[in-house]
Amino acid sequence: MTAPERGKSGMETYFASKKSPLAKSRIYIWAGLAMGMVPVTYMQLSRDGNMHFPVFSLVFLVGLGLLMEWLFRKQIRPGRPLVTLTDESIEAPNLTGNMKRILWADIEKISLDAIQGARMLSFHLKASTGVLNKRSFLSGANPGKPTLALSPFSVEDQERLLDAVNLRHAKASGHVPEGQSAISNELKEEREFQEKLKALQPHALVTYAIIVINVLIWLVTLTQGASIFNTPADKLFVWGGNAASEVQKGEWWRMLSATFLHSGFLHVAMNMLGLYTAGVIVERIYGPRLFLIIYFGSGLLGSALSLNFSAQQAVSVGASGAVFGVTGALLMAVFQHRDKLPKVFSKQTLSGIGFFVLYSLMQGLGKNGIDNAAHIGGLVGGCLAAFILPERFDMTYFQRSFAKRTVAALVILSAATLSLAAMAPRAAIDQARVFASNEILAQAFKRFDQGVIALQQEQADIKAGKISEREADERSRAVHAQVFLDVANELSRVVLLPSDPREPLLRDIQRMSELLYESLAMESVFNEQSKKFEPANPERAAKIDAEFGKISERAMKFANTAKKK
């Protein structure tokens, strides 16, 4: 049903709309749950190559969907009016608190608020009602200020509802306003403002282009060995990830290329969703050319600050610094002109985007693997750019100041980026050496295993009479000892991250190689009684065997534990 409907007695009823923001959210939720099955199925397939129907995951996702559907239907109440207006009162089952019917005479004023980006109609009750005007610590609700969410109604219905609510309240108070009410004007002004911005630029082509480029680059990396969910750091490094050690070697381009790389599906999806949400309106406010300055200036400043923190010890990638810059520019633009902009737009932007930024930064502080320095740097860069650059709220001023302010922004952002990058301390870890060490380590471990197998085979050949004791003794110094010396030397060049779990195994294999080399290279004497060659220094040989046995046992336990994991 559509809203509103007017009865014979002047009663008006308003129903939920299929064109409402809440209805759109319902579609997004189900689409998101459907997409959630993709990674679940993929992980199940990649486990052993066979398809196993993920029953538990399916039940969870369907259960979550049904819960959201129940909450949604509770909000829209199909077939039942969400708001009923009479000359005496407003009645709404979705009003917060216990009061579902409020007399106009009990209302001091009506305000339009934006709570986490959602439009809410707030009814401030008079003190004479005796209702406690204090927010509850647990629920967050204020009995003295019941609120009604406008999200179940379409934009047109919201305007009509606010107009009707304000008019009836004014009549009950004995103050009938001339023309439209102040509250409904706020909504109409906001809609007209949005339409004006859209008229300046119907399609945010630069924002769309950046999103497409980021997604395409991620898809290309998938063809080059990237993982759908968590691409290894060594691959991201090769493709241009930001690392202080390499930037300080002269590879400054990494600060830019890193902003187009992403570690997995969720990483690129969340960044592009954030860019779309804020980018469209920022591009309309500043125009495509200035938007590019904001985006890339923020991304580079975020990368520069990361060189002082996260990129010191890790490979940093992602467009999140640039996205934070775009959201920061939006916040700055609205904050600077909040007195001139429609109140609804200002409140909704500052509360919604502000909450997103704060929540994201707090989440970054509590989780490993999130480059909060890039986020903060990008946010500062976006705010700084927006503070300098002209907005298109006043086109005359925009055109007059465009060139001067654009040059100023470019100079300041460039100077800040270069300064932060130059101030970064020497990299704590040489990422190129670390990743090169992975190949060295793999080859050295392989040669160690091959050397041990060769020794075991030679012992079997001695027992089989294929080679003599003298030949084996000569080969130990001429052939086998050199193999383990080479392995020990190669392992000494390996550099691992401090947190790398292979560090103990590396040192054990290196020490075992050194012991094997010393043992195999040791001079020997022929024992006439046993008819075998024995170490010339039996005491040292015994110590080598004892130490080798302890290390070998420890390395075996480590390998078995790693296999179980």
In this predicted model, what pLDDT tens digit does every residue of 375-384 receive, in sequence order?
A: 999 999 999 9
pLDDT at 178: 56
Look up the pTM and report it: 0.80
Model confidence at 186: pLDDT above 60 = yes
In this predicted model, what pLDDT tens digit does every residue of 416-427 receive, in sequence order?
A: 999 999 999 999
d(CA 565, CA 563): 5
Model confidence at 159: pLDDT above 80 = yes
Three-class SS of 350-413: HHHHHHHHHHHHHHHHHCCCCCHHHHHHHHHHHHHHHHHCCCCCCHHHHHHHHHHHHHHHHHHH
In this predicted model, what pLDDT tens digit does every residue of 426-447 receive, in sequence order?
A: 998 899 999 999 889 999 999 9
Model confidence at 51: pLDDT above 60 = no
pLDDT at 119: 86
CB distance 100 to 92 below 8 Å: yes
Q: Mean pLDDT, to the nearest integer, of 378-397?
A: 95
Is 5-190 assigned to CATH 1.20.1740.10?
Answer: no
Q: Mean pLDDT, to the nearest integer, of 507-532?
A: 90
pLDDT at 41: 62
Model confidence at 55: pLDDT above 70 = no
Name the CATH topology of 205-423: Rhomboid-like fold (1.20.1540)
Three-state DSSP class for 137? coil
Q: Which of 67-76, 107-116, 327-336, 495-504 has the highest mean pLDDT?
A: 327-336
More confident residue, 558 or 249: 249
**Of 41-50, 74-83, 104-113, 387-396, the least confident:** 41-50
Closest CA to 331 of 381, 287, 367: 381
- Mean pLDDT of the residues in the chain: 88
* Residue 139: pLDDT band with limits 50, 70, 90: low
For residue 532, the surrounding DSSP H or E stretch is strand 532-535
pLDDT at 180: 46
pLDDT at 1: 41
d(CA 68, CA 70): 5
* Domain ranges across the chain: 5-190, 205-423, 431-564
Model confidence at 487: pLDDT above 70 = yes
pLDDT at 45: 56
